[in-house]
Amino acid sequence: MIVCMKEAITKDRVDKWLEQWGGLQPQIEAAHKRRDRSAGTMMEAGILLYKQFIAEASDSNVFDTTQQYELLPINAMERLAFIDKKPGQYACYRQLDELFIETKKRCARLRLKK
């Protein structure tokens, strides 16, 4: 298991990461409401943002789907595989949004624990 670094999950760092998602999230939501295919492209940016944060917080150069990360919520790898297959689907957007929320909570728990 790849352990996360406590200094990488400070409230400020997590908030900055979520702020970036907060900029993308309403645009993706709006694209889905318009049934605009650009949602898939924006989702790919959101997926990359999520994976980069996990890798950086875990002192890893690249996000590796074969590894287990302490920072990931339960069954996150399966959920990411689902999201990666069809990022343009609304269900994938909802799943990614939930992963961001759950990872924020996990960061808070790990900060208290470490």
Digit-coded pLDDT (tens) for 9-54: 999 999 999 999 999 999 999 999 999 999 999 999 999 999 999 9
Question: In this structure, is residue 36 part of a structural domain?
Answer: yes
d(CA 72, CA 35): 30
d(CA 14, CA 42): 20
Question: In this structure, is residue 76 part of a structural domain?
Answer: yes
Question: In this structure, is residue 35 part of a structural domain?
Answer: yes
Question: In this structure, is residue 1 part of a structural domain?
Answer: no
Residue 39: give the domain boundaries.
6-113
* pLDDT tens digit sequence for 77-108: 999 999 999 999 999 999 999 999 999 999 99
Question: In this structure, is residue 80 part of a structural domain?
Answer: yes
Say what angle helices 90-113 and 38-57 make with each other, to 10 degrees.
20
Please count the structural domains in the chain.
Answer: 1
